[in-house]
Amino acid sequence: MTGFIHGIILSMGLILPLGVQNLFVFNQGAMQKTFFRVIPVVITAGLCDTLLILLAVYGVSLLVLESSLSKTIFIGAGVLFLLFMGWKIWRKTVVASDMQAVTALSTKQQIGFAVMVSLLNPHAIIDTVGVIGTSSINYNGMDKTLFTLACIMISWIWFSCLAIIGRMIGRRNQSTKILCGINKFSAAFMWSTAVYLVYSSF
């Protein structure tokens, strides 16, 4: 049971702070017309986090991050993705402002972006491997399983809460100005994250 409690506390500390993945889920909650339409983002983000946590706990991803070349390539791909995604969201926002309407991402776009923002996010993977993976070494057997399940459970609950909060705010503030502001903040945050990744890698 100690592993389960530790997993809850640890994963909450990692997942609650504002990040690109969290911001994307919240953004889609605010932009979609109904909560049902944001479910693909929640499921995709949850599945991606589940995969990362399992890889971290069982040590597979540690093999990738041990190589400095692999880490450099991985961070470089993440930076390019963040720059591209920020540009896409900013561009859609500018077009939406001109049309006086904000266009939400389609289900296919939601899933694609959610996968990329989860699996090409260097911060998320390094945190998962470095913190969750390392912490799991202290447990064996059932305790290790409970630790892993706790981390996965918090991830799914948090993404669902973010989508719900985003939907509540989006429903209350349906003006183009408010929703465009959310999109612009999302794009700017992604660009600043990309810059920080480049800075921190030196």
Tell me the pLDDT tens digit for each residue of 140-153. Answer: 888 888 988 998 99
2-6, 120-124, 163-167, range with greatest mean pLDDT = 163-167
**String of b and e for 61-82 (b: at least 16 CB within 10 Å)?**
beeebeeeeebeebbeebbebb
Res 197: pLDDT:
66
Whether residue 86 contacts residue 187, with contact meaning beta carbons closer than 8 Å, is answered with: yes
Residue 145 domain boundaries: 2-200
Amino acid identity for residue 42 in this structure: V
Average of pLDDT values for 166-176?
Answer: 68
pLDDT band per the 50, 70, 90 thresholds, residue 187: confident
Q: Exposed, middle or buried, 39 (CB in 10 Å: 0-12/13-18/19+)?
A: middle
Nearest to 19 by CA among 49, 40, 43: 49
Measured in residues, the chain has a length of 202
Whether residue 126 contacts residue 14, with contact meaning beta carbons closer than 8 Å, is answered with: no
Running DSSP on this structure, what letter comes out for residue 139? -
Nearest to 80 by CA among 199, 201, 191: 191
How many structural domains comprise the chain?
1
83-87, 131-135, 142-146, 181-185, range with greatest mean pLDDT = 142-146
Res 105: pLDDT:
74
pLDDT band per the 50, 70, 90 thresholds, residue 47: very high
Q: What is the pLDDT of residues 62-121, one digit of tens each?
A: 555 556 666 677 667 767 776 877 787 777 655 544 434 445 677 888 888 888 888 877
Token pair belonging to 44: 């995709």
pLDDT at residue 40 above 50? yes
Res 92: pLDDT:
63
Q: What is the pLDDT of residues 2-35, one digit of tens each?
A: 778 877 777 776 676 667 788 888 888 887 878 8
pLDDT band per the 50, 70, 90 thresholds, residue 159: very high
